Structure 1
Amino acid sequence: MIIQAIRSMIFYALFISYTAILAIPLGLYSLVGRKMAGWWVVKIWYLGNLFLLRWVVGIKTEITGQENLPEGPFIIASKHMSDWDIFALLPATKGRPTFIAKKELLDIPFFGWCMQNFHTISIDRKNGQSALPQMVKQGKQAIARDCRIVIYPEGTRRAPLDVAKYKWGLAKMYEALDVPVVPVAVTSGLYWPRNSLILWPGTARAKYLEPIPSGMELDAFHHLIQERIEPVTTKMLMDDIDKGIARTITPALQARIDAHRH
């Protein structure tokens, strides 16, 4: 564990430095430049971070199901367990990403300015339900620009095998934007646990699932998106656990594992 902790500290130092080096010039440009410029910088950023994860802490990346990505604009609805999910999903946006992120992230100097450059949809959680109309409005604008919107339906990172808590924001966006939704299952939480300073070696996986076409009734879609993502995510996580993982299995994680075995 000590060696992995050291490797993780090195990764975080490189990750923060690398992000700052790229974010400062692009952030300054974003204050005066046109929107959606600088995709090449973003590509360098996510490829560089995947390289650091692979060779510093030993986290490999495996993406499957790309054949399920439709043409044109659509919504990518992903399970969210770590920052790896951001790096892994960016290639699917084809250079036109629109992430839905909390307002606090966009207020960060340079990094937040970069996010605004890519039409990030800002959510002010303090406004509660009143924030939804603004999110839908920005979502329509993004779709009109042929963007691909990335949203994490639970609104925050969740621990592996934790009880799902899907919010209604995705369903409202789906209803209003009239575009397909591509569900995504991930296993990244087994290797980059939330709120953990230690990253663990292994293969983090993301799988694009069959897209849900537009036009479904709101309640039916809200239930279907969970029925698509959760069983696949659980199977992928349990498969990795059964094969053996390097991370320490905490009592909380063991309890969730035991619950899914019965």
Structure 2
Amino acid sequence: MTMTVALDVSASDTATDAAVTLSGVQKVFGHGARAVTALDGVDLTVEPGEFVCLLGASGCGKTTVLNLIAGLDRPTGGDIALTTTRPAVMFQEAALMPWLTASGNVELPLRLAGVKKPARRERAAELLNLVRLGGVGDKRPHELSGGMRQRVALARALASTVDADEGAVSLLLMDEPFSALDAITRDVLQGELLRVWRATGPAVVFVTHDVREAVRLGQRVVLLSSRPGRVVREWNVNGLSGVEEARVIDDVNARLREVISSHAAA
């Protein structure tokens, strides 16, 4: 299931200036002999406004990390600190409310946050313009293409990052939001996401299994081991030239193959 939601997650009293801090995070599903350790000692810091891509093989715990940051689940051990109380989550599909217009979908988190109608309509119009959908506010989801629906979902996610707390850092969590789209549309929306991120400045944690997507989008790529998930390698990929980017992609692919091979041999 894919949707975009705004969540109330209490910021830790020990939170630092980082947008997100994970310290020794562990997650175990089940009990006794059937217990499965999904994450074991994950340490990760995401700075305000930083774009971090979380990469790994299927089943390595990428989505589990995202769910824990969002407050959709609780860690078995370790600590998670946020400097925002309203992270927004965008999953693989738009999952827009079919009875609402594009504007109505973008307004929804604002309405739930208690924003008055004139202000939320103005904000929704601004966000739709930001994602280049200024002329479709009165359209319903079935009248939009898949790429356009994802743009509406992105606008709704950005609306969800509104936080009344002074000094709070907006945080956008994205779980493979473009994986269901065709290659051309995915490429276009990757570029659009970067443009919108630069214009709005939230911290982003972007989960993907696509190495090229991770290197293209992120300022930093973080690789998780296969289950149990741990951070095994990080790459600074901000501002790479074409040659450097190709070299890093090869390096990440090689390290990812090692991770998968070591897990298969275990």
TM-score bin (small chain): 0.3 to 0.5
Q: Which has the higher helix share?
A: 1
Q: Which has more strand, going by share of residues?
A: 2
